[in-house]
Amino acid sequence: MRFNHEGIGGDECVPMAQCGCLYQGFYYKLGETFHPTKQEKCQCQDNGSVLCEEVPDTDETECKVVDGVTQCQSDALGTCVVTGDRSYVSFDGLAFEIPGACSYILTETCAGDDSVRSFVVKIEKDSRQKRKVSTIQALSVEVYGLTLTMTRGKTGTVMVRR
């Protein structure tokens, strides 16, 4: 069975197992983590269920409502890790896989955040010829009006574009 949900991509149909969750009138993608309040962290689970847990209230976390959704940001440092061609660990410590061949944004500055220099970190994934696994072909960082790109197979070389 396939399901069409506007929050997934308009006219895109996906298997029911990939559908997200409706929570307090908002749609969240499967696996997405969100903060309905400053003291609560939730994640969209299988079958449209939402799992929430209480989080300690710290002065490091600032929450505000943007387009009706509570968004919480921490001043603490975080790390996003790419551990292979498919395995990733997000800033909130959740592990996940991205199996497809496409261009992905790993991280970027928030719109309207003037406290840091605007930047974007992207990866380009391409399918291997004989396997069904995609590999990272390039990683690029866009900052200061430049694009710095490291490409698989070109060790020690960084391409710089203005």
Along the 162 residues of the chain, how does pLDDT read in single tens digits?
334 444 443 345 667 777 888 888 778 888 888 877 777 888 999 888 999 998 776 656 677 777 766 676 666 777 888 766 677 877 777 777 777 788 888 889 887 777 788 999 999 888 766 666 678 889 999 999 999 999 989 988 999 999
Residue with tokens 């790109």: 149
Residue bearing tokens 């396997």: 131
Please give the radius of gyration of the chain, using alpha carbons only, rounded to the nearest integer. Answer: 18
Task: From residue 140, give the alpha-carbon distance in Å to each of 79, 95, 121, 125.
Answer: 17, 22, 6, 12
Strand partners, 2: 15
- 45 phi, psi to nearest 5 deg: -105, 180
